[in-house]
Structure 1
Amino acid sequence: MPGFLLHLGATVMCAHGGQATPTAPFPRVLVSGQPVTTLTAPYVVAGCSMPPPSAGNGPCVTGQWLVGATRVFAGGQPVLLQSSTSICTPTGTPMMVSVTQLRVSGV
């Protein structure tokens, strides 16, 4: 599915409101002056409100993207799109992109 490319400054959150940040953006490709993110880079989640195991199975600690772009690559890896799918560990819920740059899109 087409969508705008994700970059370091994109706002990505877990399903419970925790802020997700890429651990290794790709510094050689920039959009809006910031490095893009690729499929292989895990995200770390901070501030997840999901309760710990006695009341839930949270909080979200990391997130991994499952599907990236099919035609746009950086360093041989698919870049992430606003429409990419992901999963958080240990909750199994997705990460959601709420804000990203609006100039570069991909498929």
Structure 2
Amino acid sequence: MAARFLNTSSVLMCPHGGKVQLVSANTRVKAMGDYMLRTSDKFTITGCSLNIAGVPHPCVRVQWMQPATRSQVQSDSTLTKDNIGLCVAADQAVQGTVTISFAQLRVTGV
């Protein structure tokens, strides 16, 4: 089965409904017209509604645990739909895994 690569048009969410903002420094390789995402890119979360005992404790970023091992862009591992991303709060507490609902199959180089 072909890998489903993550790119800047992929849709990622935290388990509490927060949307992951995808910002890539990659300017060379695209998947279906949008730049591929790498482990070094920025993945910030906005709109997380998690409350613990009535106190807001939102997810703020994604930390990737298992990047793609056989695919790199500009010497950095790429990300696929099968990779595990942890949603992390400001105090570094892991609050679940990221949900990936859209990824690309075709990749082109510049």
TM-score with structure 2 setting the length: 0.81
How many Å separate the matches in 2 of 1:69 and 1:26? 16
SS state at 1:89 partner: strand
Per the alignment, residue 4 of structure 1 pairs with 4
Per the alignment, residue 58 of structure 1 pairs with 57
Contact 2:8/2:24 (8 A) holds in 1:
no
- Give the gaps of 5 or more residues in structure 2: none
- Give the gaps of 5 or more residues in structure 1: none
Per the alignment, residue 32 of structure 1 pairs with 32
Q: Is the radius of gyration larger for structure 1 or structure 2?
A: 2
Structure whose residues are more often strand by fraction: 2
TM-score with structure 1 setting the length: 0.83
Q: Tell me the percent identity.
A: 26
Over aligned residue pairs, what C-alpha RMSD do you find? 1.9
Distance 1:85-1:72 versus aligned 2 partners, 3 A rule: same
Contact 1:41/1:64 (8 A) holds in 2:
no
Letter in 2 for 1:58: H
Alpha-carbon displacement from aligned partner over 1:23-63 (angstroms, at most 9, x marks no partner):
33412111111000001223010111112x54366211111
Contact 1:39/1:67 (8 A) holds in 2:
no
SS state at 1:30 partner: strand
Contact 2:21/2:45 (8 A) holds in 1:
yes
